[in-house]
Structure 1
Amino acid sequence: MAYEVTPRYRLGLIGSGVMGRALLNAAIRADVVDASEVIASDVSPACRLAAEELGCDPTEDNVQVVTNAEHLLVALKPQVLREVLEGLREQFREGQLIISIAAGVPMASLREAVGDAPAIVRVMPNICCTVNEAASAWTAGPEVNEEQRAFVVELLQAAGEAVEVEEKLINAVTGLSGSGPAFAALFIEALADGGVKAGLTRDQAQRLAAQTTLGAARWVLGNEGGPARLKDLVSSPGGTTISGVAALEARAFRAAVIDAVVVAAERARELGG
């Protein structure tokens, strides 16, 4: 039987590891929640200490989190998520919001674990939430009300960009923005290698490659026309850039990137059952 209490905290974090704390820290910095409104649990003393250093109330008792928080952010690894949620099943209140960021765990599995009482949102964030540049996608069950949806948007946008998608598209999101930071890192590394081959030092090349990629991304997000427009602006007739673009096209650069996203999405589908 769920406890009938007025929640003491606005947000409860179950799993205070790197990803959970990153989202929490972003929410605190953006005034989505005050640190005093958060209770955070973890089995690790070091993670509890890190949450306490953010100004939150730490605990090792997940039941205390569930029974005292209005909304729950569950940031657990997929392999332990079901066991933990099933252990808390009788504590969840009717309509209590659960936000899960576990990769590959579908809404149906979450519902089976938590029972009928709570409202569920599934989120696919990425590692860039640790630097407040996340690209997150989320999907909500029909029981999630407008106030709860607004809270989810605030929480995720505090750490970067967030888009709502149908759950059937979450695997595509995993392939694109979930795996994408690794693909982008590989491109930045290759760009820097090219700079080194052309005569720059490793430090110079890496700094320029990273900043160039960051600047290009910000341009695309802040201007109309998308990446094609940026490419056209930089590519003068018979110039250096169009020569480099031609070299990439000759080596099927676009096809390789497309295939990487599709293969990653298919693997996410396999892992999710």
Structure 2
Amino acid sequence: MAAAGPAPRRVGFVGAGRMAGAIAQGLIRAGKVEAQHILASAPTDRNLCHFQALGCRTTHSNQEVLQSCLLVIFATKPHVLPAVLAEVAPVVTTEHILVSVAAGVSLSTLEELLPPNTRVLRVLPNLPCVVQEGAIVMARGRHVGSSETKLLQHLLEACGRCEEVPEAYVDIHTGLSGSGVAFVCAFSEALAEGAVKMGMPSSLAHRIAAQTLLGTAKMLLHEGQHPAQLRSDVCTPGGTTIYGLHALEQGGLRAATMSAVEAATCRAKELSRKIHLGLQSHTGPNCCSSWLPPNSLWR
């Protein structure tokens, strides 16, 4: 990747939940931003404790974050983001780079809620960012140039693999990688339980299954092979692997997995539409709480 230039001296977080903490931890561990140059805000001390343990500064004032940092990551729930943006709008300048990780809130909506010409990007991380092995996509707003995009990509690579994509791919990423974590866990569990069925202790089987997934993923990424090629390399005529693959095909694994990604993507698109409609028709600090699904993962 082309040089991104120096990392910003200070990075702010509005919202201090698990994903915000994972990103901050990645930045610190990679040496891209010093802990004392990270400022996080949250309404209560509960989530701020993690940032304090990392050595970061904390506050209850969202405006203070904007006044102290030019690169600010908004890691709030979607239903509170409009009120948060309205609160900080008076201190937003054209020098700021504002990054939203709120699922379902489009770039056009973000730009409507902020002053004209504000530089805004959307980022969608997934849970493995917690261990700095995330799959992250980002989409840029109308007023963001390549230098800001490269800078953010340089920072987020501390948390895993980061790719710039058209905004239309963000919901697909939800189905592939956000929900994909659960799909992979289901496969890992089934893989291990197959070994348990054949007599292997459960704890050992689950460790080996997870390591098998890790090793396979590293081979695919590091060697740049198509999965079909690596799969073919493992198979020998009349051997164990081709017999096992035949059983998977009989069970419809490939079609079921494709359908799972499709279903999760369609649901992400549906929720995004609901959020967009809710932002258009509601105002106030709880503007979206009435139209998010009960017990939504986006709350």
Show CA shifts across 1:134-177 (max 9, x none).
Answer: 00110001311333212211121110011111011111111101
* Residue aligned with 2:91, SS: coil
- Gap runs ≥5 in structure 1: 1-7
Report the counterpart of residue 43 of structure 2 in structure 1: 43
CA distance in 2, matches of 1:81, 1:259: 32
CA distance in 1, matches of 2:70, 2:224: 40
Q: Mapping of 1:91-170 within 5 angstroms? A: 91-170=91-170
Report the counterpart of residue 251 of structure 1 in structure 2: 251
RMSD: 1.3
Describe the shift of the 1:16–1:9 C-alpha distance in structure 2 as closer, same or farther (beyond 3 A): farther
Report the counterpart of residue 11 of structure 1 in structure 2: 11
CA distance in 2, matches of 1:46, 1:9: 26
Please report how far the alpha carbon of residue 272 of structure 1 lies from its aligned counterpart in structure 2 after TM superposition.
Answer: 0.4
Q: Is the 8 A contact 1:126 1:136 kept in 2?
A: yes
CA distance in 2, matches of 1:172, 1:18: 23
Show CA shifts across 1:188-217 (max 9, x none).
Answer: 011111010011111011001111011111
Report the counterpart of residue 179 of structure 1 in structure 2: 179
* Residue aligned with 1:64, SS: helix
Report the counterpart of residue 81 of structure 1 in structure 2: 81
Show CA shifts across 1:235-254 (max 9, x none).
Answer: 11101111000111111111
Q: Is the 8 A contact 2:66 2:72 kept in 1?
A: yes
- Gap runs ≥5 in structure 2: 1-7, 274-299
CA distance in 2, matches of 1:186, 1:10: 40
Moved over 6 A (4+): none
* Residue aligned with 2:31, SS: coil
Report the counterpart of residue 260 of structure 1 in structure 2: 260
Q: Is the 8 A contact 2:70 2:95 kept in 1?
A: no
Q: Is the 8 A contact 1:92 1:117 kept in 2?
A: no
Show CA shifts across 1:22-69 (max 9, x none).
Answer: 011101111221112211111231321211221111101101001111
Identity of aligned residues (%): 38
* TM-score, structure 2 normalization: 0.86
* TM-score, structure 1 normalization: 0.94
Q: Is the 8 A contact 2:117 2:143 kept in 1?
A: no
Number of residue-to-residue matches in the alignment: 266
Q: Is the 8 A contact 1:82 1:113 kept in 2?
A: yes
Show CA shifts across 1:92-112 (max 9, x none).
Answer: 111410111111111111112
Report the counterpart of residue 25 of structure 1 in structure 2: 25
CA distance in 2, matches of 1:156, 1:258: 28
Higher deviation after alignment, 8-17 or 227-236: 8-17
Higher deviation after alignment, 37-46 or 194-203: 37-46
Higher deviation after alignment, 44-53 or 235-244: 44-53
Please report how far the alpha carbon of residue 9 of structure 1 lies from its aligned counterpart in structure 2 after TM superposition.
Answer: 5.7
